[in-house]
Amino acid sequence: MLTQLSPGRPVRVLLADDNSTFRKSTAAWLKSAPWIELVAVVENGTECLQYTRALSPDVVVLDLAMPDFNGFEITQQLKALGSAPRVVILSLYDEQEYRRRARQVGAEAYVAKMQTVKELVPAIQATLTEIGEAV
């Protein structure tokens, strides 16, 4: 069951990416949105799963290619949690096959890393509004 957001409460986001430069710049970008609370920034799939269980973010933004688990595997594990977060997968590859696979495993959105500044925040917002939650 997805967590319902309270009006006026920031959207709690966890970011997982193994590239430190991308992770830092994306974290700064997310923090610039006044309605987003960045609850954790982690560098691998194992940490993503641990911190998601501990912090129950509303949205998990995760890299597709990480050293321990890929984004598809992590998404499947996140969606098996009792209160599953929405998932936005990031990838260097803007391929239809990856987008299709992301939907198959339960991700609500897929953003090519080249489009992060333009598409990530709107993708997070869309994951919430598509089930009737206003941001």
Q: Helices 96-104 and 71-79, interaxial angle, to 10°?
A: 20
SS3 77: helix
The domains of the chain, with CATH numbers, are 11-129 (3.40.50.2300)
Q: How far apart are alpha carbons 128 and 117 in whole angstroms?
A: 19
**Cα distance between residue 38 and residue 35, in whole Å:** 10
| pLDDT tens, position by position, 18-59 | 999 999 999 999 999 999 999 999 999 999 999 999 999 999
Q: Give the model's confidence band at 134: pLDDT under 50 very low, under 70 low, under 90 confident, else very high.
A: very low
Contact 55, 9 (CB under 8 A): no
Q: Give per-residue pLDDT as tens, 106-131.
A: 999 999 999 999 999 999 999 987 54
* Cβ–Cβ under 8 Å, residues 7 and 131: no
